[in-house]
Amino acid sequence: MIHNIFQVPVYQNELKIDNQSLSKYCIQLSHKEKGRTISNIGGWQSNYFKENNNSMLIKNLWPNVKKHAIQFGKKINVDVKGNLGSLWVNVNGYKDTNSLHHHPDCLVSGVYYIKTHEDCGNIRFYHPCHLLLSQDWKNMKHIPNEYNSYNSATWWYPSIEGMLYLFPSWLLHAVEPNLSKREKRISVSFNIS
């Protein structure tokens, strides 16, 4: 018998909202504000939006995200009330990426993809013991016949336009480089307390 212990949940759901208008809004915002550098290597990242902000993002996107965050909490038996801690925009051009990081002092974090394309870079999650898995099993010359959730140090999900991903805020993650010279990857990230 195998018992699955210490499982890590990642919630995925497609949202049906007006991404074209959100994309235009995010690009305009990136031209108006200086932005900041946190986990982004290249690209542009906005300052935080709060729940009382009257922006298009809060009006059109946040109610959908909140509903799914509460559902996610119910599925993993964690009391997620859906209080927005912070929300920000990411605009990534050619070779722009987000380095390995987590979101401290939050309960649930997530990303919503507003604009994507082929080769725009996937989101990659790291097993909480990824360094041990990578080092110890590699030193023993362990190469799985097929990678799965038991033997993988990392796991990726595609960056798909309209897709929402939610995950525990402590889960390490990164976003691969955008390899398109013409198209930008636009996403919104957020923390729920």
pLDDT of 138: 61
pLDDT of 4: 87
Which string of DSSP letters, residue by residue, matches the chain? -----S----EEEE--S-HHHHHHHHHHHHHH---B-SSEESSEEPPPB-TT--SHIIIIIHHHHHHHHHHHHHHTT------EEEEEEEEE-TT-EEEEE--TT-SEEEEEEEE--TTS--EEEE-TTHHHIIIIIHHTT---SS--TTT-SEEEE---TTEEEEEETTS-EEEPPP--SS--EEEEEEEE-
pTM score, whole prediction: 0.93
Assess whether pLDDT exceeds 70 at residue 139: no
pLDDT in tens, 157-189: 999 999 999 999 999 999 999 999 999 999 999
* Domains in the chain with CATH codes: 11-192 (2.60.120.620)
pLDDT of 141: 62
Q: Compare 148 and 111 and report the one with higher pLDDT.
A: 111
pLDDT of 75: 96
